[in-house]
A and B are shown apart, each in its own frame.
Chain A
Amino acid sequence: MSDDDARDASLLETGRIDRLLATYELVILARCIKGTKSAHDGQDVAQDVMFRLFREFEAGKRYEGIPYRVVVHQVTKWTLADFFAGRRTDVPLPDELTLAAEDIGEGVVSGLWLRELLAELPERERATCELVYVEGLSPEQAAERLGTTRNNVDQRLFHARKRLRELMDDDG
């Protein structure tokens, strides 16, 4: 279990469901916007997902042994499917959570694989990407830190994005 999974489990255990939901709010929104291909519909469906997660977990539902981020992923998937099928999106969740093969394949279950992705890159590219995608520096700040040009930083970031795009394509 990763540190983040342990943090999530602890929040759930201590009833801090609001903090847990706030942690994943943007993750849910991005998945819903991507799924609906609409910023407006995505925001509405994300509301449904948040409400559903809150109501069920507040009522004591737990998917023992499954990390919370995986539950978020699955509930988002269910809710998007309900949305597209024109079904109600506020009905209770299933008692069992069975992960589909594609979920396991896309890295949701293993989780937090950015460092693995970066590890595939040559040293200079990896260091550059870590500054931007892990530490949150702007490309200009990264260039200054590394003593190189903004153009060089852009080229190095390009490779990480290329890898992300490949993973997106794998994900469909």
Chain B
Amino acid sequence: MVDVDRLFDEFAAAYVRGERPDLPAYLARAGDDADELARLVDAFLQAVPAPEPSDDDVAVLRARLDGEPGLLALRTRRGHKVDEVVDDLAGRLEVDDRPRLKRYYQRLEGGVLDPHPVDERVWDALRGVFGMSVRTMIRPLATRQGKSAMAYYRRTGSPSADATPSLVAHATPAEIPAVADVEPPPGERDELDRLFLGTN
């Protein structure tokens, strides 16, 4: 089992250096001790000055407030093409079925794939691609109409692109595959499906 104290020290040092450590990833590493680590981190963050965010952090947040998925905003801000990201991702995840990986990536980037079941390996790989954690930037904070995006997601479940044009269509450079194209039922999922959809 990973030592909670060591995870905390690692997290705390990264935070005060101005990095944005991926808290859910640290909690996943803590396993059964995740609650204790969460309490320790929370107490620490209340006790230290909040570091200045990077320009990337602010730009991504601004985009999410404007109804745009954060990962899409980050990629376009960096000037990366989807295919470049997918190539990098395919290598890091050792995935051969690149077309299907691209469809999953586009759905994740478009904010229409529920980020919660996505495997830690995908978040690790994306952190490698972008040099920062992208896990919590997937969903927009607001809809284009200025309503709560979270309330929208709760009402509709994990929406498909064709069901949520007001939320993502303006910001999506390519068509996002519909759910039926890429989401097999749990019993029929292969390794790539499980990376993005989980096992349930």
Contacts and interface: CB of A to CB of B under 8 A. Distances in A.
Given A26-B15, A51-B150, A114-B48, A40 B116 contact: yes
Interface string A159-172: 00100110110010
Nearest to A44: B150
B150 A89 contact: yes
Given A3-B49, A132-B9, A134-B48, 6 more contacts: A4-B50, A33-B27, A34-B39, A34-B41, A133-B13, A171-B43
B35 interface: yes
A69 B48 CA distance: 11
Main secondary structure of the interface of A (DSSP, over half): helix
A164 B34 CA distance: 16
A113 interface: yes
Interface residues on B, range: 35 or more
B46 interface: yes
Interface of A: 2-4, 18-19, 21-27, 29-31, 33-34, 37, 39-40, 43-44, 46-48, 50-52, 54-55, 69, 73, 88-90, 106-108, 112-114, 117, 132-139, 154, 157-158, 161, 164-165, 167-168, 171
Interface of B: 5, 8-10, 12-18, 20-21, 23-24, 27-28, 34-35, 38-53, 57-58, 61-62, 65, 115-116, 135-136, 139, 141-142, 146-151, 153-154
A164 B40 contact: yes
B57 A25 contact: yes
Contact of B23 (A18, A26, A132): A26
